[in-house]
Chain A
Amino acid sequence: MDIPDHISQLHKKGFKARLQGFVTTVPLIGWFLGFLGAVLVEYSLGDLISYYLGLPKIPVLFGLLSVLKKPLLIPGTIGYLILVYGLPILLIVKSLQKPANKLAGFLDKRPVTVAALVHLGLFYGALHLWADMSDYRLLVLKLTMIAVMLTLSINVINGYMGEFSCSHPGFMALGAYTASTITLLLFANDKQFGDALLPEALGLYFFPLALIAGGIAAALGALVIAIPSFRTRGDYLAIISLAFLFIVKSLIENLEFVGGPRGMSSQPHYSTLPMVFIVMVLCIWIINNFVRSTMGKALNAVRDNELAAEAMTVNTRKTKIITFMFGAFWAGVAGGLFAHVLRYVNPGSFGIQRLAEILAMVYFGGLNSVTGSIVGAVSINILSEALRPLEIYKWIIIPLLLILVMLFRPTGLIAFTEFKPKELMKPRQQLGEE
């Protein structure tokens, strides 16, 4: 009987090989279950454990924040992380290895949608509990999800299409202001637009429509850039989109009707965690399908050699314009969510600083890769939250890190890969062959 490689590795000596064998034989759903278990442990015992370890309260962001402020807490925090995250995850993953593989095998035979829904439901449950423990976690989580959407949408333009767009904050601003105007006008009693025009109870159901309207506003803005700038190749788009960014920002500052430089505030509380999560998942799903479609392949062809693509009957101009509008649409949706998470927007939050942040996330994670975008957005976001105690030195460390990444991997950490959910969810161990 043939023994597959990854199983025969288990019988080899050596810790590294054993660990590798162990890690590679756990399916994704096993890890999700482990995470859920760890969160349950933290939910029920977190306060108690942190009390006995001498921590003032549970480490909110894996202790990264408090450790930098008070180095004395390092041993306690490490102990907490091992007790609450390390041990439960390992125990659950180890003990559920077989059933999890069975479950993954069962799901593998069902349609991808069903399997994906089960995985996402499990993941969401764990995240919800995790974020439930502190408001700060909730905020960081929401902002991270929005960052994932932004990074993905700019990756479509800068990575898959190979242009250099600088107008993402502008699209975000268009989406944020459009969505905020709709929700404030229709569903909220506020200073700017007066009483609500529709019953407030309807608001949450109309919110997705407001987001879509924001996305469409951003896409129309993109069309304005796209028409003149896709006539020539090169850095042309970079300049036009940069000018567009300044125009949008300055225009909003001059529109008294949306608050001018003061901005808009008291948006209704519609960006709940499930809402942000669902929109993010939709965004990942749609963008992933887009870049793997014929359109996406045409896009790569246009990037690599426009003349050859044209010869192969790709309508390059149409492809580029549609893609640019598509990317802008998702930036607008993300902007709408962003406005309702912070419940305050002003033109100042959509400037060059935000552009640098978005570009950092996409180039850190990797061009032309959905996985890379997710990794880049999550890691830069968590890092910038974790380094918050360092105050301004944060903005020295993150750029330095990015320069290093650029020097050693000029296209980002995980570039040019395909994101295949079906592969991810596969069982990692053939049962019955052991």
Chain B
Amino acid sequence: MDLFLQNIVNGLQWGSFYALIALGYSMVYSILMLFNFAHGDVFMVGSYIGFGVATALLGFVALTGIPLPGWLILILTILFSMFFTSFVGMFIERVGYRPLRDAPRASAAITGLMIGIILETGNLAILGARRLSFPQLIESATYQFGGVYVTNKKILIVGVSLGLMYLLHRFIQKSKWGMAMRAMSFDFQAVPLMGISINKIAPLTFAIGSALAAAAGILYGLAYPVLDPYMGILLGWKAFVAAILGGRGSILGAALAGFLMGFIEIFVAWIFPSTLRDVIAYSIILLILTFRPHGFFGQAHSTQLRL
């Protein structure tokens, strides 16, 4: 029982990375009906930017002697990295997706993939193949509830993710921009006639998705402090599958499916040999998709390929 609860905690942590990344995929899809295949690499870039910001802040502290506490540095790191990474997202939209809005959908998918490769390789070329270790900004502490061990980082990771998701939900439901986004995802053709420019909404969507991915990147860096340029491939593709599982374009679905993905992986690794993790996890997802082709919350609308 303790082990079960322990795995629930682990699954929550692991799932929050997937959920945050999957949100980015799903938001872009809901507006443009396209997947941003470079999103996994945006997560990686966000993690590296977080590394840069954290190092700079630590250097600032060491240089000036102003004693900033660790949690403040962490919060600043997350905020700054989200801000910077959102520009990466907008850049991808401007270069890879806006010119191809009327082109076949597959072409945009290809540019997305290629931008992802450029981000990976560019990182490798600039920083070299050595792996960076993310600075540990807060002291590790472990709390025990019954037989379950919870570190403060796990609480932080799950808490920050849930908080960001709540903020996103508020933004989309209550703000004017959020309303514009919802309208755009409802009708791509008519809403621009109402004076809402797609050229503002699409970059905004990319920016928000990228900012969430950056937050996921920093949280990932806290939990697993080794960064390498290909870390986005592994998590990104799985989060992509989670976004599908949640229903294309559904924000709530993406978040839930992200957590579900985390649970599936952690529990499969607990019950079966861990090398079988991918086989079983993907088989479960295939089964779910066979019976619910549109995911949990997706609408069954036909998406004719514009080829």
Which residues of A, 283-312, contact B by the 8 Å Cβ criterion?
Answer: 303-304
Which of B2-10, B104-112, B182-190 contacts the other chain?
A: B104-112
Contact A396 B241 (CB under 8 A): no
Contact B293 A392 (CB under 8 A): no
Instruction: Determine whether B64 belongs to the interface, using a CB cutoff of 8 Å to chain A.
Output: no
A158 to B104, CA, bound (A): 12
Chain A, residues 348-372, CB within 8 Å of chain B (1/0): the string is 0000100010011001000100000
A115 to B262, CA, bound (A): 60
A400 to B118, CA, bound (A): 8
Q: Which of B96, B111, B241, B276 contacts A239 (CB 8 A)?
A: B241
Q: Which residues in B have their C-beta under 8 angstroms from that of A236?
A: 289, 293
Instruction: Determine whether B194 belongs to the interface, using a CB cutoff of 8 Å to chain A.
Output: no
Contact A410 B241 (CB under 8 A): no
Number of CB contacts from chain A to chain B under 8 A = 131
Instruction: Determine whether B307 belongs to the interface, using a CB cutoff of 8 Å to chain A.
Output: yes
Known: A234-B302, A253-B275, A399-B118. A247 touches B113 (CB 8 A): no
Which residues of B, 69-116, contact A by the 8 Å Cβ criterion?
Answer: 95-96, 99-100, 103-111, 113-115
A303 to B100, CA, bound (A): 20
Known: A239-B244, A410-B103. A234 touches B113 (CB 8 A): no
Which residues of A, 221-235, contact B by the 8 Å Cβ criterion?
Answer: 228, 231-235
Q: For residue A320, give the distance in angstroms from its CB to the closest CB of chain B.
A: 13
Q: Which residues in A have their C-beta under 8 angstroms from that of B100?
A: 406-407, 410
Instruction: Determine whether A242 belongs to the interface, using a CB cutoff of 8 Å to chain B.
Output: yes
Contact B104 A246 (CB under 8 A): no
Q: For residue A10, give the distance in angstroms from its CB to the closest CB of chain B.
A: 41
Q: For residue A114, give the distance in angstroms from its CB to the closest CB of chain B.
A: 38
A403 to B111, CA, bound (A): 5
Chain B, residues 114-158, CB within 8 Å of chain A (1/0): the string is 110110111011000000000000000000000000000000000
Q: Which of A243, A244, A393 contacts B125 (CB 8 A)?
A: A393
Known: A243-B241, A407-B100. A356 touches B113 (CB 8 A): yes
Chain A, residues 182-193, CB within 8 Å of chain B (1/0): the string is 000000000000
Q: Which residues in B have their C-beta under 8 angstroms from that of A250?
A: 275-279, 282
Q: Which residues in B have their C-beta under 8 angstroms from that of A411?
A: 103-104, 107, 307
Instruction: Determine whether A315 belongs to the interface, using a CB cutoff of 8 Å to chain B.
Output: no
Which residues of A, 246-277, contact B by the 8 Å Cβ criterion?
Answer: 246-247, 249-251, 253-254
Instruction: Determine whether A162 belongs to the interface, using a CB cutoff of 8 Å to chain B.
Output: yes
Known: A247-B278, A253-B275. A303 touches B307 (CB 8 A): yes
Instruction: Determine whether A395 belongs to the interface, using a CB cutoff of 8 Å to chain B.
Output: yes
Instruction: Determine whether A220 belongs to the interface, using a CB cutoff of 8 Å to chain B.
Output: no
Instruction: Determine whether A120 belongs to the interface, using a CB cutoff of 8 Å to chain B.
Output: no
Contact A228 B290 (CB under 8 A): yes
Instruction: Determine whether B175 belongs to the interface, using a CB cutoff of 8 Å to chain A.
Output: no
Instruction: Determine whether A240 belongs to the interface, using a CB cutoff of 8 Å to chain B.
Output: yes
Instruction: Determine whether A164 belongs to the interface, using a CB cutoff of 8 Å to chain B.
Output: yes
Instruction: Determine whether A68 belongs to the interface, using a CB cutoff of 8 Å to chain B.
Output: no
Instruction: Determine whether B286 belongs to the interface, using a CB cutoff of 8 Å to chain A.
Output: yes
A232 to B100, CA, bound (A): 25
Q: For residue B44, give the distance in angstroms from its CB to the closest CB of chain A.
A: 14
Known: A242-B237, A247-B282, A392-B124. A232 touches B293 (CB 8 A): yes
Known: A234-B302, A235-B303, A407-B99. A251 touches B279 (CB 8 A): yes
Contact A233 B303 (CB under 8 A): yes
A162 to B300, CA, bound (A): 20
Contact B303 A254 (CB under 8 A): no
What number of B residues sit within 8 Å (CB to CB) of A? Answer: 49
Instruction: Determine whether B223 belongs to the interface, using a CB cutoff of 8 Å to chain A.
Output: no
A356 to B285, CA, bound (A): 23
Known: A235-B248, A247-B279. A399 touches B289 (CB 8 A): no
Contact B241 A352 (CB under 8 A): no
A403 to B99, CA, bound (A): 11
Q: Which residues in B have their C-beta under 8 angstroms from that of A162?
A: 305, 307
Q: For residue A371, give the distance in angstroms from its CB to the closest CB of chain B.
A: 19
Instruction: Determine whether A402 belongs to the interface, using a CB cutoff of 8 Å to chain B.
Output: yes
Instruction: Determine whether B199 belongs to the interface, using a CB cutoff of 8 Å to chain A.
Output: no
Known: A233-B302, A399-B117. A243 touches B233 (CB 8 A): no
Contact B117 A395 (CB under 8 A): yes
Q: Which residues in A have their C-beta under 8 angstroms from that of B233?
A: 352
Q: Which residues in A have their C-beta under 8 angstroms from that of B248?
A: 235
A304 to B305, CA, bound (A): 9
**A363 (CB) vs chain B CBs: closest residue:** B110
A158 to B113, CA, bound (A): 16
Q: List 16 A-B contacts (CB under 8 A).
A: A158-B106, A234-B302, A234-B304, A239-B241, A239-B289, A240-B286, A242-B240, A247-B282, A250-B279, A250-B282, A254-B276, A400-B118, A402-B114, A403-B96, A403-B114, A411-B307
Q: A163-B305, A242-B237, A395-B117 are in contact. List 10 more A-B contacts (CB 8 A).
A: A162-B305, A228-B290, A233-B303, A242-B241, A243-B286, A250-B276, A367-B106, A396-B118, A396-B125, A399-B114
Q: Which 7 pairs show the lowest CB-CB distances between chains A and B? A: A410-B103, A399-B114, A250-B278, A234-B303, A395-B121, A410-B107, A228-B290
